[in-house]
Amino acid sequence: MRNGFTADDVGTQTGRRFLVTGANAGIGFEVSRVLAARGAHVVLACRDADKAEAAMNRIRVDVPNADLSFQLLDLADLDQVRDAAKAILSAPRIDVLVNNAGVMIPPRSLTKQGYELQFGVNHLGTFALTGLVHPHVDDRIVVTGSIAHKSGEMDYSDLSASRGYHNWARYQMSKLANLLFLFELDRRLSAAGRATQAIGCHPGVALTELQRHLPLPLRAMTPLASPFFNSAAQGAWPTLQAATGARVQGGDYLGPQGLGEVTGRSGPARAARMARDPNLAGELWLRSIKLTGVDPKL
């Protein structure tokens, strides 16, 4: 690896099992494709079986002997998260859980349990899934953040966004929650004497399906902007480093090394001071237990 990590630096993963959420498109798909090409068994955890099947067929075009399977997972429904966790716990153990799935700046929408969709999917669904299956994960738990977390503020006063909805502010809040969860999870795993580590990453600015909710004029400009941003494959490099990098340690946070952490090879990223605040993280942890009904018991 020279001047940062890319997909070329992913070593053999034969005999290892990865569960990747949101694996049918974008960064999740690229991560799954690279891992399969290195010999891993990849469980594609997605909310749409047809899209997951299509993704597995696409991977097999490049990797004919890809070892793939599917797990139904809808992070917008905590009841279904529990069902998915039961299935995961009944299957062989996982080496790495890659929490990749997320939603970005949709119109105001709610999860099945009535939470604003971005906080509900990006944080609460991820917290619940991880809290239920972490005893089944041997090596690493990857949590996906965003450079948007640096402008986020935690506000628990209106989790259904009934009094007002600003899609960017809610996205920023959900991504700050991801990083608070990441660092608190790693602290608690370490305190419990677990070998499993929590590692964070962010893709910079990658052109993926997450941008589908951008206003039409901005979406129309995407092809013109593409030379200045990461492709989905490039945006996957930090996730691949977090999931497989030999020199990665618990509590690390990884992202692109270019100007503003927007593009480039993967390496150490900067988390806002607020994201590393143990008091904020502890409060979020306790609130998340109450909101999801899931206690990770860490």
The set of catalytic residues is 171
Report the distance separating Cα 263 and Cα 52, nearest Å. 28
Q: For 71-111, give the DSSP string.
A: EE--TT-HHHHHHHHHHHHHSPPEEEEEE-----SPSS-B-
Residue that has been written with the tokens 């209106």 in this structure: 158
Residue that has been written with the tokens 């994201």 in this structure: 275
Q: For 221-282, give the DSSP string.
A: HHHHHGGGSB-HHHHTHHHHHHHH-TT--TT-EEEE-SGGGSSSSEEE-PPPGGGG-HHHHH
Q: What's the one-letter identity of residue 249? A: Q
Would you say 13 and 244 are in contact if contact means Cβ atoms under 8 Å apart? Answer: yes
